[in-house]
Structure 1
């Protein structure tokens, strides 16, 4: 995992230009971060409460929070693996013997689910910065074989802002082969008027296809070479990821496929059907790795000697309504929302928030779908974010 130690400012070059390196993350006290220790104590207690009780919000969780280059809260609680299976008769999980369970740790990898969309979005904006892609480019200009996108004039901006009008998803997991899945995506027309907000995984799948077509490289390589390797995020990659936190005992009728207890393979059925690399889901990571990602964004696209985006393009990501990032959403950002905070949630129990106004970040990785999926509950996410907001001095 990336180092959390300080580093000396040093010159680095990109295109012959020398820049100062952005400070690296380090563990520190609340006071050193400019945060109230009492409020952060409540945040840490709130993190531990996520896994408490007989029917906890999550089997296991890791919470990291900080300000500037200082990580002031780092809590791992509960179990990365707690259950052997889900019992549909009782609606509860069948617990493993204590000796067979795996505790959650700060370096536990979790299935990020839709937090993957943030990396796809950054990869797209990198191409916009380089001039190889225009934000208002029509998808059909890059993908002329995607006939529905051509006919409806869907643009890259609409994909990034979820305003293409495409439905939330397609049953790609029921297709017999890759050719059939591709045919479905090519033929899929908007179900709402373009410009209408409608959150959709299909937006990121089309964006993935655009990126792969214009660069000639697969998405996992774009993310690795453009984001995770420069930032030193060695624990972040598309699966399979042996040793990751378990997710769901995935069986019909509550799931869309019969795959059994999942650990180290992507939870999302469509991402699984696409081989584990998809624009909307498939990445695994740790909280310390994601803290580096957050820090790079808050520092204008730089971390240490690496720069993944220019500051203007980071600001473009965060300009309402956000490109891939949700902006000022109190449903999961709590009181951090309202000043330009940006982030996202993931179905497996993950979330990430960065607040440029206060230079703070909050990462929550959890396996709420272990051993089975349940209705979404953003309350704990919002509560932790509000506690972080209250800690800002």
Structure 2
């Protein structure tokens, strides 16, 4: 059972600890600017987010752990006024560093790690055809979609399917079975369907559901006790989800997955559904920066972490300045989530940055990743060479 375990017989890697920026080899003044910038994201009449958590560090040192704003600020969205209806001050819930957030597409990173664990064990071939594992997924089999193409978003599948409009589970599954590529395989098209198909493959291969695979293979060995699929009652609120801006009429959401397809699939999906905290995600970043190990636990071997993070990345995006800022350029890897979440880990500087926000509270807007990129630039400029 290679790839996951307690690491017996191996040297334990350092666990994260809170310490000063200087101990981490980071410039304290630049980190003060980072904290100031992040706090400013929650202020003003129309803030970037109601609430924000930032956790950043270098090596085993967490140099920044800050929370600002509100986990729950609005009761609902008023369409006529185009504004959120604020709760009375006594009813609002402040954001803390322990507040869980709906991770949205950061879930894809965990699905990717679960897949690479099977590749390390030899039970899954990275260039194997999906049809070899899922012969009943006729369209994927007919078009020779491979595991690598799913992990690199080069399968040709379109970005999403309206599974949320399908009344029953059997119908949703049949839509996935029949979905064929809409572009020539090989070209990059970011698609939630890749991770939904990968979820089906992993569950068929292992006989275990994705939530169990992620818990047993990643979050439990790393001690990430706050990371799980919903419901998560104490999470930061997301959207007053209604049509026409949403794809379903669900009303104000807190602790239930925001993504409509993940909701339709029962809350456990390869592309969305996980909730987590900044501290837990810092552990996830640190484990990958340390070659797959954290404390006595190892979730991947170093060669397979390298496979995961080598451009263009398997599940992970690599060197994307639009949300990484100046951290991009030498192999930084990470992802963003529609709800306002992001993480970046940079092997070149041994740094990590987790930014969690509920930018869709009380309703979604055009995505704006400028604050994410600015935070990445602050951290990069803080690195003392």
Residues 109-135 of structure 1: CA distance to partner in whole angstroms, max 9, x if unpaired? 000000000000000000000000000
Residue of structure 2 in register with 1:145 after alignment: 136
Alignment of 1:166-245 (within 5 A): 166-245=157-236
Residue of structure 2 in register with 1:6 after alignment: none
Q: Distance in 2 between matches of 1:296 and 1:267?
A: 27
Q: 1:361 to 1:16 in 2, by over 3 A?
A: closer
Which of 54, 69, 73 in structure 2 is aligned with 1:63? 54
The reply to whether residue 272 of structure 1 matches residue 263 of structure 2 is yes
The reply to whether residue 319 of structure 1 matches residue 310 of structure 2 is yes
Which of 249, 253, 263 in structure 2 is aligned with 1:262? 253
Q: Distance in 2 between matches of 1:15 and 1:101?
A: 41
Q: 1:15 to 1:193 in 2, by over 3 A?
A: same
Deviation at residue 14 of structure 1 after TM alignment = 6.0
Deviation at residue 351 of structure 1 after TM alignment = 0.1
Alignment of 1:1-393 (within 5 A): 18-393=9-384
1:249 partner SS: strand
Residue of structure 2 in register with 1:4 after alignment: none
Q: Distance in 2 between matches of 1:14 and 1:76?
A: 33
Q: Distance in 2 between matches of 1:297 and 1:261?
A: 35
Q: Distance in 2 between matches of 1:160 and 1:226?
A: 18
Q: Distance in 2 between matches of 1:123 and 1:15?
A: 17
Deviation at residue 18 of structure 1 after TM alignment = 1.6
Q: Distance in 2 between matches of 1:136 and 1:179?
A: 29
Q: 1:195 to 1:106 in 2, by over 3 A?
A: same
Q: Distance in 1 between matches of 2:8 and 2:31?
A: 40
Q: Distance in 2 between matches of 1:381 and 1:273?
A: 29
Residues 201-234 of structure 1: CA distance to partner in whole angstroms, max 9, x if unpaired? 0000000000000000000000000000000000
Question: What's the Cα RMSD here?
Answer: 1.1
Q: 1:26 to 1:178 in 2, by over 3 A?
A: same
Q: Distance in 2 between matches of 1:80 and 1:117?
A: 23
Residues 260-285 of structure 1: CA distance to partner in whole angstroms, max 9, x if unpaired? 00000000000000000000000000
2:216 partner SS: helix
Contact 2:6 2:296 in 1 (8 A): no
1:364 partner SS: strand
Q: Distance in 1 between matches of 2:262 and 2:174?
A: 16
Q: Distance in 2 between matches of 1:283 and 1:75?
A: 21
2:10 partner SS: strand
TM-score by length of 1: 0.96
Gapped runs of 5+ residues in structure 2?
A: none
Residues 316-374 of structure 1: CA distance to partner in whole angstroms, max 9, x if unpaired? 11110000000000000000000000000000000000000000000000000000000
TM-score by length of 2: 0.98
Q: Distance in 2 between matches of 1:333 and 1:243?
A: 29
Deviation at residue 15 of structure 1 after TM alignment = 9.9
Aligned length: 381
